[in-house]
Amino acid sequence: MDLRNNTQSLKRKLDWTEEDEVEEVTTKPRRLDLPTDISNRIHLLKSSFSSSCSDRSSANCALFVLSEFAKDEDIVDVIVNCGAVPVLVEILETAGDCDADSYKYDMEKDCAFILGLLAVKPEYQRLIVDAGALSYLVELLKRPKSPVISQALFSGLLRRAADAITSLAHENTNIKTLVRLDGGIPPLVELLEFNDTKVQRAAAGALRTLAFQNAENKNQIIECNALPTLVLMLGSADASIHYEAVGVIGNLVHSSPEIKREVLLAGALQPVICLLSSCCLESRREAALLIGQFATTDSDCKIHIAQRGAINPLIEMLKSSDLQLREMSTFALGRLAQDSHNQAGIAYNGGIEPLLDLLDTKNGSVQHNAAFALYGLADNEDNVAVIIKAGGFQKLHDGHFNAQPTQECVTKTLKRLEEKMQGRVLKHMLYLMRTGEKDLQIRVALALAHLCSPDDRKTIFIDNNGLELLLNLLQSTNPKQKGDASAALHTMAMKDMCSSIVDPAPTSPTPQVYLGEQYVNNPKLSDVTFIVEGKSFYAHRVCLLSSSDTFRAMFDGGYREKEAKNIEIPNIKWDVFELMMRYIYTGAVDIDLDLAPDLLKAADQYLLDGLKSLCEYAISEVGHNLSFSCFYFC
């Protein structure tokens, strides 16, 4: 199709001006036959027409109307079914061969915009790519500015092309790879430094999408030296810029320890911490999530995060009305609290009470993250009194925790508090029980009844009147207090009757439910597919959710994988991943000694303690046999 041919267009038949089109679209179509209307517009674009002002106006008008229709998802199907995609791609192809002028750029910009809107529906992503659109969109990103084109028009073209690539590649592993193979990543990285913030934002948005769960794309983005610019964008006064930048960096470091180290070396930590106090809610969420990911690097990084001022804003987020903000902040604090240097600081800055309050939430991810943070904080002797003064024992002991991992975490926290209840911690508790206000005395007495050693009972309950507090509580008119006192006295009586009263074993967790060998890599009833070394592994969320905290966080939290159909697994070999999944489905696996070290790393990454034990045993047996052989033959 030659846009410059001198032929009559359908503009004559439609006999509407551009102003009429604007009014008609904004007030919804008056005509009942929408498919016919859309088909007429598409046919107009297919027809050759002259370079006259009227014909150019009619073509621009047709594109404008189609773009307005495409904003309505209910009309997208009609547009595609009427054959719009090949026509739009043909315009991109033909316009690329024309001399540069504003008309050509307008046509390309509008076509890219419409294709991006159509690609919002996943079922049309592949159709658009197969029609050849991707290579033309990438070429638009690489195009130098023509001196006859305004800066605003050129910026609009680049932005629409980047946005279209974002829509096409969204949660589509194959198209993400095609963008890289077509050379789309280097020009997107270059556009991060473009002199228009809207173009910067669009380029960052595309890179964010391309980096998600695609190791090769991540590596190329790093190789193109994107990090220095992204780190500078974190400090932008424009919220839309730093939101996209922190999103790109978050996707780069996700499941990529080496890239995480490079990001930290590039100076990202401090600007990310600053974003915790941003006025942009979305940036604060992303920053908190990223801080949590940084905190898994090493102990030194956890300390640096705290030293640079992350604790206070994270604690403030715990009190937010935004659920996702609470989830991300508990995630970050949970990781930071596992380091002994941070535990006192989190408590000193008031983190314990809001974390205890979040144990009552109905959101499983927030509740588990809060429980995990409290488990770390309970390791510090100075925090034990703070937890009990704030009613933490009662919340941990009496709380309702639906998820098995959360129950196990709470059990471990109570066990940790029990282990700390000696020496100066116990003396502090006795001081509070003697001198505190009545409510505090009762709270301490109830906690000590469950946590103290049998050897300390006389000191606590006879010498310091703890028993009198509990007996008086039995006379309370408050049913809750009476029940608490009864349970405390019952616990002490039962411990006396047990042969092992010092270290009662926790309740056994619910046994793991295994789907069985027949469902390993079986597409039947599969609702998620893992991409490992380019191959598909079919899995079932119900089995994965019951297997480990990692998969629970992946599929039951507010993370990116929750709604994804295809999830790329980087840095794990196919044979290793298959063995790991076989263990999850059957509870047993024959460990190939050559794969045992890599399988051990995978089991550690996905928190599969049973599989870790099997691997460690297999490796230790090899070492034992080798040592025995050397001894025997010497």
Contact criterion met (CB below 8 Å) for 522 and 538: yes
List Cβ neighbours of 366 (8 Å cut-off, separation of 6 or more): 323, 326, 327, 330, 358
* CATH number attached to the domain at 517-631: 3.30.710.10
Domains of the chain, residue spans: 32-224, 421-497, 517-631
List Cβ neighbours of 291 (8 Å cut-off, separation of 6 or more): 272, 273, 276, 305, 310, 314, 332, 336
The CATH architecture of the domain made up of 32-224 is Alpha Horseshoe (1.25)
Question: How far is it, in rounded angstroms, from Cα 209 to Cα 250?
Answer: 11
Q: Beta partners for 539?
A: 528
For residue 96, the model assigns a pLDDT of: 59
For residue 454, the model assigns a pLDDT of: 87
For residue 559, the model assigns a pLDDT of: 63
Q: Tokens in use for 221?
A: 């983005």
In 3D, which of 6, 24, 5 has the Cα closest to residue 14? 24
DSSP 199: H
Q: Contacts from 490-499 at CB under 8 Å and sequence distance 24+?
A: 491/449, 491/450, 492/449, 492/457, 492/461, 495/454, 496/454
State which residues of the chain have pLDDT below 50.
Answer: 1-31, 499-511, 622-634
Region of 225 please: left (phi>0), alpha (psi -120 to 50) or beta.
left
Q: What is the CA radius of gyration of the chain?
A: 31
**Global confidence as pTM:** 0.71
